Every structure is written in structure tokens, then in C-alpha cells.
């Protein structure tokens, strides 16, 4: 796989940002509790590093949060408050994205001020993927771009998505990589120099379609000799194998099972599936049941002890071990065993270890083993696809912008407000 050279990108310093109006695309997408409150702040803390280095600019921060129809689809007000506390300076929030109120406030910004726009996904355009040529014609880019002198892409966890805010703005604004992007690519370059096989991927979490895309990329690019399945992805594969009777309760369940079935057919020796699962007993506690004895109305919430023991042997035999997504509903203490045990096994294994995604990063801190992992990333799907050697839209946008900047293309095409 080609290593990314930081010379391929512009840095914040190349933008000479002092006194300029700079748009920062961060990824502040954060897990929330049942009342819509932010559970942790890892991604917000990471974004603060870039914002500190823009202290003499007029800064506007934009990010998405959640998906339409889900409980985490909330405004960005809490994120602005969290950033205010982390930075020790006011981050103003406006409940608008590219409407007149947002544009007016951007034009009034003074040096050192930071404005947070509302959830980008409140705009339908930001839920779709585009070519750069299409993205530049979206309302979000056409309305906002004229107000800025430069753009900073720091949303590494969203690097695999060709949304307008990722691929549109770099077409019309000089675009630099933020500090988080630089940190992630530097760490990946370091790991790729020392990593060795066998390659073991431990994949859980609730985003089944993302996991299936990632699994395919990892296997095809010979980046996964073994895939240990847990979470909803594990249940989709068990269902594909005819061993899980209950309903999956996910929007694209049938398609996911069909795709899992195809992968099992094509790569029968790669996958390890749970042999036992933890379900809720009558009192709401944990009860472990063998997969083949599972009642048809049961709801699996974690992997069981036998599965953990079987996965431990594979993990300890790995030269490079990658884990993304929790093993179960770990936010409920009685169903956090699988996630905690697997992370502890990774932390004490001899292989090079990589843990990705906001949920697992939080769990590592809770269990106090964060420093035992070789690389911890808040990115999930983006990191998997990067490790698999896939070209990411965010990286491509940064490379393209650097070329345009160095050949003076932006000066010729500057949009007027």
C-alpha cells in the first residue's frame, strides 16, 4: 500500500491563516444517551488541537451528528459548549447551516472568534455522496464558500465519505489537512513499516452495512487472514449461516444477510462467528446461551464466555490485530463483558494492535488500558478502508487542493460574495 506523504497536502501554515476567515470541517459525531446528551468527548477533544492553532483567525466549525431517524440526530449546541470548556474560550453556536442567519454572522466575525454551525446533516445534500464536480454545485458549498479564505479538512473519521463538505469546498478554497488528519496518517505510516501477519480483524458495532463493506475490502486486499465477528455484524453472519432465528431489527437486514452469505461462500475459512451469546433474563440480567439453543424471541446483547475464549486464541496468534466496534451493548454494564475482555486480550497480546472508533476509545479509557494499545483512533470505517488500501475521498481532496494551490488555480477562480 502506498504511504501518504505529508508533502502531498497543504498544512495550516500554508494557508497563512492569521486574520483570515477559515472554515474547519471537523468530525464531532459523538454517541449520545437516551436523553440526547453527549456520552463522551474524544472527537471534540481531538478537534480542539486544530482550533487552538487557528487562534488568530476568524473560525467557523462545521460537523455532522448522527443520522436521520436515529436518536443521535441532534443539534450541535452541546458540542459548542463542550468545545468552549475544552478550549477555555467561547465557541458560539448558531442554529443554522447555510441560511441568511449563518451567512450574516460569518461576515461579522472578528479575529479570534469561533462560530459553530448546526448539524450539517440537517441539509439533505450532506446525506448523499457526490463527485467533486457535482458537490461544488450544492447549495451548502455555493452559499458558504464565498465567505472564506481557506478550508481545513480535519474530519478523518468521515474520510471515506464523498459528502459536499468533504469534496466540494476543496474545489473552490485552498484546503489544508488538520492536525488530526496528520496524526492519523503519521501513525498509520509507522504501523505499516513494522506490521506483520497473520492479520486478525475483530469487528463489531451496529453499522452492519459499513462493516460488510470493510470486511470485503480487507479480505480482497489481503489485510485480514481471520475476521472475528461480534455485535450486529456477527448476528448478520450467524443468520446467513442459518444459526440465528430472531429478527435482526436493522433497516437493511435482508440485504446484509444476503451479502454476509455471499462472503461466507467465497471465504469459508476466514470467518469466526460467536458460539454463545448473552441475552437478557426475566429480571433484566445477563444470561449466556449457546447459539444453537437460542430462543426465537431472544435479543442477543453481547458475546458469551465460550466465544471470548475461542477468540482469545486467534487474537494471541496474530501478528497485527485490528478491532473496531464494540462486541455488544457495552453501555449496559451487564453486557459490557465481551467488549472489555476482548480489549484486555488485545492490550496484552504480542502483535501490533490498532483499536478504532469512538465507543472503543472511550471503553479503553474506562478500563485504563488506553496506553497499552499501539494506535487508538476515533475513526471507524474510514480507518478500516485506509488500512485495506482504499482511496479515501478526503485524502484525494487534500492532494488535489495542494496541486491547485501550487499552480495558482484558486486565485484565478476566486468566488465573490
Buried b (16+ CB within 10 A) or exposed e, 213-233: bbbbbbbeeebbbbbbbbbbb
Q: Check whether residue 110 and residue 159 sit in a common domain.
A: yes
Q: Check whether residue 231 and residue 353 sit in a common domain.
A: yes
| Number of domain units in the chain | 2
**Is residue 417 domain-resident?**
no
**Is residue 306 domain-resident?**
yes
Q: Check whether residue 226 and residue 335 sit in a common domain.
A: yes
Q: Check whether residue 211 and residue 281 sit in a common domain.
A: yes
Q: Check whether residue 373 and residue 398 sit in a common domain.
A: no
**Is residue 42 domain-resident?**
yes
Contact 76, 98 (CB under 8 A): no
Q: Check whether residue 246 and residue 368 sit in a common domain.
A: yes
Q: Check whether residue 169 and residue 216 sit in a common domain.
A: no
pTM of the shown model: 0.87
Q: What CATH number is given to the structural domain containing 252?
A: 3.40.50.1260
249: left (phi over 0), alpha (psi -120 to 50) or beta: left
Q: pLDDT truncated to tens, each residue of the chain (417 aa)? A: 444 555 689 999 999 999 999 999 999 998 888 889 998 888 999 999 999 999 999 999 999 999 888 889 999 999 999 999 999 999 999 999 999 999 999 999 999 999 999 999 999 999 999 999 999 999 999 999 999 999 999 999 999 999 999 999 999 999 999 999 999 999 888 888 878 889 999 999 888 888 888 889 899 888 899 999 999 999 999 999 999 888 887 777 788 899 999 999 999 999 999 999 999 988 889 999 999 999 888 889 999 999 999 999 999 999 999 999 999 988 788 999 999 999 999 999 999 999 998 788 888 888 899 999 999 998 888 888 888 888 899 999 999 999 999 999 897 544 444
Q: Check whether residue 173 and residue 288 sit in a common domain.
A: no
Q: Check whether residue 113 and residue 226 sit in a common domain.
A: no
| pLDDT attached to residue 348 | 96
**Is residue 288 domain-resident?**
yes
**Is residue 223 domain-resident?**
yes
Domain extent at residue 48: 6-178+391-412
Q: Check whether residue 65 and residue 92 sit in a common domain.
A: yes
What is the 3-state secondary structure of 278-343?
EEECCCCCEEEEEHHHCCCCCCEEEECHHHHHHHHHHHHCCCEEEEECCCCCCCCHHHCHHHHHHH
Q: Check whether residue 298 and residue 365 sit in a common domain.
A: yes
**Is residue 186 domain-resident?**
no
Q: Check whether residue 233 and residue 344 sit in a common domain.
A: yes
| pLDDT attached to residue 7 | 60
**Is residue 189 domain-resident?**
no
**Is residue 191 domain-resident?**
no
Amino acid at each position: 500500500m502506498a504511504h501518504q506523504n505529508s508533502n502531498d497536502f497543504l498544512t495550516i501554515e500554508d494557508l497563512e491563516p492569521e486574520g483570515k476567515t477559515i472554515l474547519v470541517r471537523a468530525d464531532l459525531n459523538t454517541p449520545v444517551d437516551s436523553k440526547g446528551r453527549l456520552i463522551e468527548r474524544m472527537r471534540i477533544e481531538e478537534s480542539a488541537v486544530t482550533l487552538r492553532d487557528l487562534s488568530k483567525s476568524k473560525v467557523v466549525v462545521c460537523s455532522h451528528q448522527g443520522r436521520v431517524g436515529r436518536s443521535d440526530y441532534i443539534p450541535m449546541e452541546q458540542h459548542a459548549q463542550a468545545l468552549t470548556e475544552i478550549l477555555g474560550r467561547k465557541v458560539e453556536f448558531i442554529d443554522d447551516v447555510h441560511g441568511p442567519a449563518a451567512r450574516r454572522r460569518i461576515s461579522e466575525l472578528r479575529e479570534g472568534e469561533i462560530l459553530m454551525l448546526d448539524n450539517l446533516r440537517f441539509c439533505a445534500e450532506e446525506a448523499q455522496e457526490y463527485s467533486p464536480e457535482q458537490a461544488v454545485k450544492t447549495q451548502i458549498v455555493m452559499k458558504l464558500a464565498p465567505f472564506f479564505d481557506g478550508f481545513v479538512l480535519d474530519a478523518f473519521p468521515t474520510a471515506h465519505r464523498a459528502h459536499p463538505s468533504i469534496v466540494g469546498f476543496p474545489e473552490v478554497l485552498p484546503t489544508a489537512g488538520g492536525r488530526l488528519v496528520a496524526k492519523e496518517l503519521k501513525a498509520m505510516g509507522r504501523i505499516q513499516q513494522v506490521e506483520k501477519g497473520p492479520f486478525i480483524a475483530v469487528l463489531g458495532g451496529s453499522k452492519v452495512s459499513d462493516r460488510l463493506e470493510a470486511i470485503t475490502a480487507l479480505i480482497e486486499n489481503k489485510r485480514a487472514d481471520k475476521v472475528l465477528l461480534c455485535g450486529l455484524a456477527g448476528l448478520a453472519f450467524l443468520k446467513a449461516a442459518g444459526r440465528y432465528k430472531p429478527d435482526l431489527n436493522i433497516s437493511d437486514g435482508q440485504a446484509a444477510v444476503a451479502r454476509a452469505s455471499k462472503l461466507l461462500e467465497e471465504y469459508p475459512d476466514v470467518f469466526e462467528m460467536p458460539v454463545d451469546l448473552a441475552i437478557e433474563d426475566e429480571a433484566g440480567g445477563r444470561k449466556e446461551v449457546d447459539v444453537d439453543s437460542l430462543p426465537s424471541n431472544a435479543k442477543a446483547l453481547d458475546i458469551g464466555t465460550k466465544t471470548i475464549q475461542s477468540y482469545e486464541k486467534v487474537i494471541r496468534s496474530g501478528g497485527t490485530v485490528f478491532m473496531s466496534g464494540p462486541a455488544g451493548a457495552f453501555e449496559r454494564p451487564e453486557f459490557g463483558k465481551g467488549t472489555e475482555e476482548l480489549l484486555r486480550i488485545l492490550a496484552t497480546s504480542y502483535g501490533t494492535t490498532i483499536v478504532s472508533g469512538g465507543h472503543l476509545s472511550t471503553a479503553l479509557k474506562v478500563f485504563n488500558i488506553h496506553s497499552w494499545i499501539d494506535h487508538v483512533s476515533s475513526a471507524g470505517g474510514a480507518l478500516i478502508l485506509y488500512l485495506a488500501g482504499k482511496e479515501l475521498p478526503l485524502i484525494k481532496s487534500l492532494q488535489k487542493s495542494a496541486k491547485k494551490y501550487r499552480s495558482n488555480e484558486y486565485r484565478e477562480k476566486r468566488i465573490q460574495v
